């Protein structure tokens, strides 16, 4: 098992026009962890995930995956779940599975077939006939069927009903490479905190807290959801809670 960090940010900044989506971020993420990337609207979560996946480039500073800048090598070891659909509507489930099997050498068709059966997704089903929640389940199957070193999951349970969330989280936890690391960006903190090893709080493009779940609970005797609300002052009595987003 490798011992170097799977992800490092060194004075990382990303600007859109004159606005900083990420501002001088320093962060080190180890291996074999499940990390919650948590923050309010516009905090920079999705920007960080896109930088790690090589979809956009830093304005300044560095982001390293397995010790190198995002590129050909990192594409082989990073498995990315975006927060939007990317399938062609004419495709069937089997078409998508065949595409991933051909494109990624670390894709396990056997694992994907098993998860499709478990989640009730038929391989002759056309994409255009699927609900949004079913499409998101299929995307999750594709991502978790790779033997990756880093899984980047952007809002993996946002589109499924509450009754299915535990099942989806169980699918994530039971199907990733245990020597790898999962980074989950989500606003549904109370639903996922039980599976997290560490949390990263991000606000206005800056990392404001990075700690283990056990240390936070021991120090503050609160759930991660409660600590997050306290830190960001989002729980206001008598007022509907503000939504969390990337």
Structure tokens at 144: 């978790």
Give the H/E segment covering residue 190. Answer: helix 189-192
Task: Identify the bridge partners of residue 207 per DSSP, sorted by sequence position.
Answer: 202
Digit-coded pLDDT (tens) for 60-114: 999 999 999 999 999 999 999 997 888 888 999 999 999 999 999 999 999 999 9
Per-residue pLDDT band for 133 (boundaries 50, 70, 90) equals: confident
Q: Which DSSP category does 107 fall into?
A: B
Structure tokens at 56: 């956009």
Dihedral sign computed on CA atoms, order 55, 59, 65, 71: positive
Q: Which residue has the higher pLDDT, 201 or 190?
A: 201
The radius of gyration of the chain's CA atoms, rounded to the nearest angstrom, is 18
**In contact, 167 and 140? CB cutoff 8 Å:** no
Structure tokens at 109: 């068709």
Q: What is the DSSP string of 44-85?
A: SHHHHHHHHHTSS--SEEEEEETTB-SSHHHHHHEEEE-SS-
Judged against a pLDDT cut of 60, whether residue 239 lies above it is answered with no
* Matching CATH number, 7-87+149-163+172-232, of 3.40.50.300, 1.10.340.30, 1.10.3210.10, 3.40.50.2300: 3.40.50.300
User: So where are the chain's domains?
Assistant: 7-87+149-163+172-232
Digit-coded pLDDT (tens) for 22-51: 999 999 999 999 999 998 878 999 999 999
Structure tokens at 88: 């062609």
């Amino acid at each position: 098992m490798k011992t170097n960090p799977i992800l490092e940010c060194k004075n990382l900044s990303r600007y859109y026009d004159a606005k900083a989506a990420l501002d001088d971020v320093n962060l080190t993420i180890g291996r074999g962890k499940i990390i919650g990337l948590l923050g309010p609207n516009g905090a920079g979560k999705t920007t960080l995930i896109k930088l790690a996946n090589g979809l956009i480039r830093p304005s300044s500073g560095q982001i390293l995956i397995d010790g190198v800048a995002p590129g050909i090598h990192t594409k082989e070891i990073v498995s990315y779940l975006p927060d939007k659909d990317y399938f062609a509507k004419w495709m069937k489930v089997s078409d998508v599975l065949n595409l991933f099997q051909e494109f990624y050498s670390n894709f396990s068709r056997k694992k994907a077939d098993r998860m499709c059966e478990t989640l009730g997704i038929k391989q002759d089903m056309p994409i255009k006939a699927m609900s949004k929640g079913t499409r998101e389940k299929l995307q999750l199957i594709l991502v978790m069927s790779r033997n990756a070193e880093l899984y980047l999951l952007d809002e993996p349970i946002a589109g499924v009903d509450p009754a299915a969330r535990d099942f989806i989280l169980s699918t994530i936890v039971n199907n990733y490479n245990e020597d790898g690391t999962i980074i989950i960006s989500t606003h549904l903190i109370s639903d996922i905190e039980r599976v997290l090893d560490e949390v990263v709080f991000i606000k206005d493009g800056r990392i404001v807290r990075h700690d283990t779940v056990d240390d936070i609970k021991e120090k503050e005797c609160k759930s991660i959801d409660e600590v997050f609300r306290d830190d960001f002052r989002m729980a206001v009595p008598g007022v509907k809670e503000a939504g969390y987003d990337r």
